[in-house]
Structure 1
């Protein structure tokens, strides 16, 4: 761990960007994953994941730079509570895995296989299930409807 002198504890960061003073640029902010205070914080990120334990090369502290503060204010985004390393690894976790699953097109004629989506145009296979099979990064247990390229293009073009 680095020997940063934290000047602003994570729990003291204003919740809304409009409440953040310009003096934040002079602060060294504690990462939410940091255990420098002797105990991990029981907090959650916007996706509901626990941020109390970190295996992401946490730097334990970070600073806000002027251009970052300007961007956050313009976009009305709250200050980050995680250091850049932790934020990076949180983004990486949201990506699809580097694995492909063999799937069958979920178009069964006028609707999707789960009957949630109604097709907007007739497809080549009419009211029969589409016979196309393919590899996709969408796991079978996910909720998204997966169409083959031909059926997808019929719906979006």
Structure 2
């Protein structure tokens, strides 16, 4: 199951978070852990360079995309390789919506479309769509032509 997808700015402020199956009392722990993990490891990182961590029997894959940090947490069948596929789908969709790797301002300007595309990629803790073109069609709220 995909436990969480989080976007933060470079200062560690949460821009978007989606938790699935994580009790509310544990969410603060995950937020602070991920922000600390990112602040320790993402300074000087290349754009879209993937980092992997493990904590409490779950896997974490995270990267820097423009001025935004992206974290994906999974367990069971969502190991490092599956999370790498998820984070690739998420980052390519965000770049598609923004037109380039986003600054924080551009990310917040496109917030609604990014949330729609994130909902099309991850639904209730499961990976739904990885095809960037299909996600692009779905966020335009038009029915897909291949059904």
Q: Per the shorter chain, which TM-score range?
A: under 0.3
Structure with the larger helix share: 2
Structure with the larger strand share: 2
Q: Which has the larger radius of gyration?
A: 1
Q: TM-score, normalised by structure 2?
A: 0.27
Q: TM-score, normalised by structure 1?
A: 0.26
